[in-house]
Structure 1
């Protein structure tokens, strides 16, 4: 894979903000440290670093030396590059995953022997630990631990040093302190002629954090293609119309504003522009989420991503690539990904206290011991005990093991937590907003009702309409063909596609299928039929006489109403934000159990994003389409529903692979349990450290007992986290959730 080119400050001349790539980030802690360092450069006003995107959203004052920013980052061991907008990100992360996997295998292979030898010394059969055999076992344990620490653990130690150096020690600093403390104490013990060692502690910390990093990187793999996923939804070529009216296929990137392009029926529009020759019907769901095609007339504007359903059209391009609405959304999404701050987990906050505290207490214990008249060896042993106990192993692994356990429990149910933050923060949300089409509903029209002329049979009518719509590329036509799949197939001898209907000759019968206006224009008398809200009517005539009316509509997911009810009982504020028309939105919302004031229809992607940000508490947004992506990244937790688009999956914090709407409730329940377990682990770890440190300072805990106690505390944390594997119960009401008072519901920004 070709390395990204060096960052050239000249490319940002005249600007005061931009997105710049960063090469060499190892973890989110590294990203936080790099951002902190960049903000110390004079003139830099903000630096939001995205570990997933390996880039920084940088803002600066006019006249700022961006070269100084590059030099600052280079001094930390990283490199500023030209921004990678998604083409090579996945390859980069896959390559890094491969390297981390090799380090993990090496750590496990060598670390296994370190563990076995250390356990023998702890058990001490026949008192072997005090003799030459014990010393030999201790040295062998140290020898097998060296490859784990020096090679597999090198990135952790380096990241810990980098983050500590700029004043933001995090998980890597915690683990690095534990690893170095255990190694130094063990080597010192061997040099002093003792067989007490703590190499197993160093090995365990390296293995656990490397495993956690590998899981985290695998969940970030899709995020690397966020902006690229938006681009892949659009065609790369367009048919340019020359001065003689002839269309030539060229790259869409070559088309400039003011030029004309041609789009055939069934094709996706590549560029924004104005219709200049014909009206046509469009599938606009990529941008609006509308379940029913929309007619756009000559002179009106169409957007890149729309699917032309009816006829050949010509468009006068108004926005070339980079300036299309979907491109602007891509920039907004990139900024939102950077602007969304990393969750400062309690473990990372504790690290900033524990790291300097451990070193300070160990040093004070040594100095005070010497002043009290203790021998150098006794004072050093006390300081060693303090350092071993203060090495925050349990604190360091509390968050990773909780995340790993939550990820495993969720994966068994087809739910993927893509980040540490998602597994922790989803359980704290107070509000859930849903898209409609494809999220609460199945996302495709189906035949809901058929009204027939009394002398006709259902099977015959379905066979005729399927034959008439056989060549039509349209969601409604597909729904009619699907409804007739069990009928005897017929073949039309002649077919003509019109703007809002189709004419066909089938078995010597003249068949018309289309809108009410289409049949009225052909002098067909239609009965006045009652139509349910939210359904689309398609009329059919045989030999110029009305024959049938087909009512089509989207279908609510089977588990949607039960999930809405469950979330409401848990005290969450609920809402729907859809780009569809008001009638189908309120129809579906009522069936799902949503109140009228909780439903907002005809939303643009920007409207949905604003709605997310208008909430009074942490918000989750559940969606499936490209039009949901901006809301997905602006939400505290973005959830991709089953069968979501690649762009939505790439940007979501949580991905529902199976389980439908039920899985949304289950994901929240798992996260709630994960938060409880994490808090329990952190509280236990802190209490253990405080109590054990007090004993160690006064010399009542020998180094060997300190090592056993430290191992026991880590084992307790791992065992407690493993309870998540037992599965999560139903969502529980919490004091963190509000009950959706009228005032809070007004934050939804919706009206009846």
Structure 2
């Protein structure tokens, strides 16, 4: 590909599956290793086991995978998205990579890695292994099954180990040798995932949280093997008892055994990892469901024949049939047929949308009633569903600013902890009672300090929060947006299409004295029936609802002013007051004055030389708009109405909705100025618009606040805004702020828990006040607590 680009301009985005990560240190190391390639920026997601790579210089897939391998992990490119228009196609393309697979361990037992094809945004990304040493970090069914198998076997073996080690009454002569036989498989085979991950990191000169676990289990097992074989603990008649504070603080004739510590720590960690794996799968369910919503096949129309084809076989301009109850195969335009389409999967709105020839429909929505013939307009990765999936995936992959600090701490945490453990051992050797006390305290430090919760604090909250938002038709562009929602104090809302329906409707008919309201509406509706103007259609629709319309002849349209037509022998004029005055009809100004203060558009109807009535046409507020404004005020956000309409119309809508500040009769460039002026007054502004007419104002708001686009997730809306509301429900705006703030709040809670846990526990362990077994249970519980806290976002509203 020969293409010239500006320096540092992204030329491609690459998605990768990363195998073998278990903690925040793993994430930091993969990102750091990939960043060593010139022009490469990587963001790694621990729960999804993925990496999103942005290239400003050309690198092939093998180079990226090689860097991941050099970090001690397995990697595979799952998709490559070119950001440079190719000369032969003139459009973006996405190439699926099913190659460049390297095992992070590079052992022979990885040779059978499953080279199965994956969807371009499959969060699981990795196929399963069928060998005993598979990675146990990625949240796939195969890995969960392997963890479950190891957990069950380890738990069965650990229970008698604990009973025999803790209860003297059960300790028959030679009991310690049975404990040895039961505990060794747990400390080796059961803990193998931790040992292997630690070994792979160590052989590349680095360390992870698994390094701490592996060192702790190996140290406890090695000490116990020495004690039972050479230290006299294997003698018949030796007894032990339970102690939450390390037993090393009590004097004894024989060195203590820590087989139960190694077994219990392994079992607890396997239980925590298994629960974490299931929770991570649960956390990513929203994205998985989103990506699985699309139709799998389509009924393509080839001449007079109906051919069932895979969805991938559809091309732009193909015609396809959608029967009642079927999913619409891809984005398109209705060619024939009328139906109601259920768009709730994408928009969260339960009311079906009526469609007819010429209307656009979206892939993955459900055809509720009549059969439709649709012409495909977007297929594959260009569809709205694919765009939404990319947005959600990017939001889940990125990092909130609050996570940057956590990443920096994680990068140096493991070496520091190992150093603390060594210092603890040395200090206890110098000032403690014996070697056993020194060993016990050091092992407790290693085990208690493993902050797996730290690596899960942000990603799991982002997974659940952005997934919940997408279920409600709210697309958050990236995690950095979360910080902005916390600071928003002002929200500027466009009127037409955002707070109002965007559809003109008759709000009232006011006859002049002595005139009949029904006749005036019937004549006006008939006269306007041949016009395509939105106001004309509104009048005709209202008249038809009241009864049948008479025939019309001699229809004449004066663009922008009004129409004349012959109705039941009368020459009827409908339009602006000035138009009727020019047509020789008196009283038009008096009629228009009847609605001049109401904020509606006045349309005068007259015949026989005089005005008969004025018809008021309005763009009515949406039913839910007042509720949305009320909810924004509850969030301590001041609403401001912004519109190009006249002052009267703007004040009417503002009054109905409870908005105090109004900017009316503004042009698109004026909207940018209003937002900029508010920002200059130290306000943090969110702008809500349709994402097309308000694109410039949305972009301006996004510089120091938020741009929120109402619409159907079009390219313009997505590019111009930070948050896109799929559909027209304006109550999704305060909901977006609430979900974003809740996600940020959960992230901070998770980080506080992870840090506070370690800050409090490490000194206790170093002081010899924590039994390593209890430390292991607490460490495993911390990860489960963090993930469980994140799952609370599944019910966020």
Normalised by the length of structure 1, the TM-score is 0.61
Cα 1:35–1:725 shift into 2, 3 Å:
closer
Correspondence 1:606-645 to 2 at 5 A:
607=673, 610=676, 614=680, 616-633=682-699, 634-635=701-702, 636-641=705-710
The equivalent of 2:779 in structure 1 is 710
**Is the 8 Å Cα contact of residues 30 and 44 (structure 2) preserved in structure 1?**
no
Q: CA deviation at 1:440?
A: 1.9
Larger C-alpha radius of gyration, 1 or 2?
2
Confirm whether residue 510 of structure 1 aligns to residue 503 of structure 2: no
The equivalent of 1:294 in structure 2 is none
Q: CA deviation at 1:37?
A: 9.0
Q: CA deviation at 1:378?
A: 7.5
Comparing 137-146 with 448-457, greater Cα deviation is found at 137-146
**Is the 8 Å Cα contact of residues 448 and 761 (structure 2) preserved in structure 1?**
yes
Q: Which residue, 459, 483, 493 being the options, matches 2:542? A: 483
**Residue ranges of structure 2 left out of the alignment (5+ in a row):** 19-23, 69-76, 86-90, 98-117, 128-138, 166-175, 226-258, 294-316, 318-332, 334-393
Confirm whether residue 199 of structure 1 aligns to residue 260 of structure 2: no
Q: CA deviation at 1:612?
A: 7.5
**Is the 8 Å Cα contact of residues 449 and 551 (structure 1) preserved in structure 2?**
yes
Cα 1:384–1:562 shift into 2, 3 Å:
same
Cα 1:518–1:369 shift into 2, 3 Å:
same
Comparing 195-204 with 438-447, greater Cα deviation is found at 195-204
Q: CA deviation at 1:434?
A: 1.4
User: 3-state SS of the aligned residue for 1:427?
Assistant: helix
Confirm whether residue 547 of structure 1 aligns to residue 572 of structure 2: no
Correspondence 1:45-194 to 2 at 5 A:
76=67, 82-83=82-83, 87-88=92-93, 95-97=120-122, 99-100=124-125, 104-117=140-153, 120=156, 127=163, 139=185, 177-179=208-210, 181-182=212-213, 194=259
Q: CA deviation at 1:658?
A: 7.7
Q: CA deviation at 1:713?
A: 2.3
The equivalent of 2:421 in structure 1 is 365
**Is the 8 Å Cα contact of residues 446 and 480 (structure 1) preserved in structure 2?**
yes
**Is the 8 Å Cα contact of residues 434 and 623 (structure 1) preserved in structure 2?**
yes
Comparing 211-220 with 97-106, greater Cα deviation is found at 211-220
Comparing 576-585 with 704-713, greater Cα deviation is found at 576-585
Correspondence 1:4-23 to 2 at 5 A:
8=2, 11-12=4-5, 15=6, 18-23=9-14
CA distance in 1, matches of 2:631, 2:81: 48
Q: CA deviation at 1:32?
A: 10
Confirm whether residue 584 of structure 1 aligns to residue 649 of structure 2: yes
The equivalent of 1:557 in structure 2 is 622
Q: CA deviation at 1:710?
A: 0.9
CA distance in 1, matches of 2:32, 2:660: 45
* RMSD, aligned α-carbons: 5.4
Cα 1:212–1:89 shift into 2, 3 Å:
farther
Correspondence 1:23-422 to 2 at 5 A:
23-24=14-15, 76=67, 82-83=82-83, 87-88=92-93, 95-97=120-122, 99-100=124-125, 104-117=140-153, 120=156, 127=163, 139=185, 177-179=208-210, 181-182=212-213, 194=259, 195-196=263-264, 197=266, 198-205=269-276, 208=279, 212=283, 344-366=400-422, 369=425, 372=429, 382-404=441-463, 406=465, 419-422=478-481
Deviations 1:715-747 (A, max 9, x none): 43345445556656xxxxxxxxxxxxxxxxxxx
Confirm whether residue 602 of structure 1 aligns to residue 595 of structure 2: no
CA distance in 2, matches of 1:688, 1:90: 44
Q: Which residue, 530, 534, 559 being the options, matches 1:499? A: 559
The equivalent of 1:431 in structure 2 is 490
CA distance in 1, matches of 2:180, 2:567: 93
Number of aligned residue pairs: give it: 580
User: 3-state SS of the aligned residue for 1:432?
Assistant: strand
Confirm whether residue 464 of structure 1 aligns to residue 544 of structure 2: no
CA distance in 2, matches of 1:606, 1:654: 18
The equivalent of 1:682 in structure 2 is 751
CA distance in 1, matches of 2:787, 2:43: 31
Cα 1:384–1:34 shift into 2, 3 Å:
closer
Cα 1:684–1:110 shift into 2, 3 Å:
same
**Is the 8 Å Cα contact of residues 580 and 602 (structure 1) preserved in structure 2?**
no
User: 3-state SS of the aligned residue for 2:770?
Assistant: coil
The equivalent of 2:717 in structure 1 is 648
Q: CA deviation at 1:550?
A: 1.6
CA distance in 2, matches of 1:109, 1:480: 65
Q: CA deviation at 1:439?
A: 1.5
Q: CA deviation at 1:53?
A: 13
**Is the 8 Å Cα contact of residues 577 and 604 (structure 2) preserved in structure 1?**
yes
Deviations 1:258-288 (A, max 9, x none): xxxxxxxxx9xxxxxxxxxxxxxxxxxxxxx
CA distance in 1, matches of 2:731, 2:606: 43
Cα 1:356–1:73 shift into 2, 3 Å:
same
Cα 1:434–1:132 shift into 2, 3 Å:
farther
User: 3-state SS of the aligned residue for 1:486?
Assistant: helix
The equivalent of 1:520 in structure 2 is 581
CA distance in 2, matches of 1:75, 1:101: 17
Q: CA deviation at 1:551?
A: 1.8
User: 3-state SS of the aligned residue for 2:549?
Assistant: coil
Deviations 1:397-423 (A, max 9, x none): 233444455457667866565654445
Q: CA deviation at 1:356?
A: 1.3
The equivalent of 1:275 in structure 2 is none
Q: CA deviation at 1:467?
A: 3.0
Deviations 1:194-223 (A, max 9, x none): 43413344445555556656757888999x
Cα 1:101–1:653 shift into 2, 3 Å:
farther
**Is the 8 Å Cα contact of residues 467 and 491 (structure 1) preserved in structure 2?**
yes
Confirm whether residue 447 of structure 1 aligns to residue 509 of structure 2: no
Deviations 1:421-468 (A, max 9, x none): 445642332222212112122222221232224454433433333333
Cα 1:669–1:386 shift into 2, 3 Å:
same
